[in-house]
Amino acid sequence: MRSRNAYNSWSNKTMIWARNAISVIQIDLAFLTLALLSSTEVECGRDGYTKLLDFQAINCRKHSAVLTDFGGKGDGKTSNTKAFQSAISQLSQLAPDGGAQLIVPPGQWLTGSFNLTSHFTLYIHKEAIILASQDESEWPVISPLPSYGRGTDAPGGRFISLIFGTNLTDVVITGGNGTIDGQDSCSNIRIEDCYIVSGDDCIAVKSGWDEYGISFGVPTQHLIIRRLTCISPDSAVIALGSEMSGGIQDVRAEDITGISSQSGVRIKTAVGRGAYVKDIYVKGMKLYTMKYVFWMTGNYGSHPDNGFNPQAFPVIQNINYRDITAQNVSMPADLEGIQDHPFTGICISNASINLSANPKKVLWNCSNIAGVSSKVSPQPCNLLPNKEPMSCGFPADTLPIDNVMLKNCSGSGTYI
């Protein structure tokens, strides 16, 4: 999953990730749990915390420390790279003894890249801002993601991410606020109670790019998205792809609100991507002032190099939308599959779409797709014939991530 937007704002957040590989927080092929959660106010003195903080996480830690214990200065000018690195290096030694958490107190904390560690919690106070250093020497160049083969904007390596880690287990990021970008190739994820304002897709689900993603072969799967509100004027509320060459499967989205956004749930792919986007389920979506409600694109995006396989056709199948309401919409659907490799098993039921004052002349643009519809207004294209009565599918089973319960944790500035 990835979000390339310039600005994301999340509030009342609950996110749980497992076996995650992410870019700004780069956890490759790891079992990672990440929670961005609201927490209680903490009283702070000049020298640190005077009261315990309380928050929820998957695992609590036995030991606690504050960044200032390691020489950190939150003045927005002093580099804290060494402070972060020293803190996490020392706290990593406590992993066998119940783990540790590092508290980032109020302030502006200028830093270069630092690595996370296993059995670790990074707590960011709601009045704390982590600022990326403008000193290029604090950003070493590392190899491209193996599932991408090169940078998405230019060939070669990539600057290391602000917060980095590989092969980690049991990592929590929490606090009063947060912005997280760039999650790819994830399994067993739960995203709940998010409010996102974005310059790009609010939630983008990805899994690798062309031959590199095919070779790497790690899908994004078993993803739950609930109670999401998104404002994204130029992009989608939820996007699947276009980099999806490891596969995307079993995405369950419900109780979704989109406001002044380009589209609801969008599928993006292209020849050369290979793999699949299948078993996608969306229900209970409310949209206001949209360009599209349904949008699928089979000729999206560029390629990392000329080594992609022109015979690697993506499989798009079993895509389900139900219980949709939309107001002030320019065009209900733009659904374009791939010639001779149509997108199949598309199902839309119980969808009521009210058009804008100046809608597009063609309301449903459909090509190289196959599916059915039921109780949809305005009437869909001929490639989605009406089938009455019928409701599109949504799984009744429970994913393992839904059984993960958050614990009530606390911490203070008492180091070790």
Q: What is the 3-state secondary structure (H, E, C) of 79-145?
A: ECHHHHHHHHHHHHCCHHHCCEEEEECCEEEEECCEECCCCEEEEECCCEEEEECCCHHHCCEECCC
- Rounded to 5 degrees, φ, ψ at 60 are -95, 160
Q: From the DSSP assignment, how many helices (H) and strands (E) are in the chain? A: 2, 30
What pLDDT, on a 0 to 100 scale, did the predictor assign at position 41? 42
250 is catalytic: no
What pLDDT, on a 0 to 100 scale, did the predictor assign at position 152? 64
- If phi over 0 gives left and psi between -120 and 50 gives alpha, with beta otherwise, what is residue 208? left
Rounded (5°) CA angle 247-250-254: 130
What pLDDT, on a 0 to 100 scale, did the predictor assign at position 80? 97
Place of tokens 């076996």: 19
What pLDDT, on a 0 to 100 scale, did the predictor assign at position 359? 97
In a domain, 95, yes or no: yes
Domain total for the chain?
1
Stretches where the chain sits below pLDDT 50 are 1-51, 179, 181, 414-416
DSSP 221: E
| 66 token code pair | 């504050």
In a domain, 4, yes or no: no
Strands 407-411 and 53-57: antiparallel
What pLDDT, on a 0 to 100 scale, did the predictor assign at position 10? 35
What pLDDT, on a 0 to 100 scale, did the predictor assign at position 157? 78
- The CA distances from residue 238 to 50, 175, 301, in Å, are 42, 25, 17
Cα distance between residue 280 and residue 376, in whole Å: 19
What pLDDT, on a 0 to 100 scale, did the predictor assign at position 42? 42
| 45 CB neighbour count, 10 Å cutoff | 9
Q: Could you tell me the residue range of the domain that residue 261 belongs to?
A: 14-411
Strands 276-297 and 263-268: parallel
Is 187 within 8 Å of 124 (Cβ atoms)?
Answer: no
In a domain, 8, yes or no: no
Is 94 within 8 Å of 100 (Cβ atoms)?
Answer: yes
In a domain, 168, yes or no: yes
Selecting among 200, 210, 279, 334, the annotated active-site residue is 200
CB-based burial of residue 144 (10 Å sphere; 0-12 exposed, 13-18 middle, 19+ buried)? Answer: middle
Is 370 within 8 Å of 342 (Cβ atoms)?
Answer: yes
Q: Per DSSP, what are the bridge partners of residue 205?
A: 240
Q: In 148-303, where does DSSP find H-type helix?
A: 210-216
In a domain, 172, yes or no: yes
What pLDDT, on a 0 to 100 scale, did the predictor assign at position 20? 33
pLDDT in tens, 172-201: 888 865 545 455 788 888 898 899 998 899
What pLDDT, on a 0 to 100 scale, did the predictor assign at position 122? 93
In a domain, 9, yes or no: no
- Rounded to 5 degrees, φ, ψ at 183 are -100, 125
In a domain, 279, yes or no: yes
pLDDT in tens, 319-350: 999 999 999 999 999 999 999 999 999 999 99
Amino acid at residue number 231: I
pLDDT in tens, 44-99: 443 444 446 788 888 999 999 999 999 999 999 999 999 999 999 999 999 999 99
CATH at 214: 2.160.20.10
Cα distance between residue 5 and residue 204, in whole Å: 10
Cα distance between residue 395 and residue 301, in whole Å: 31
In a domain, 251, yes or no: yes
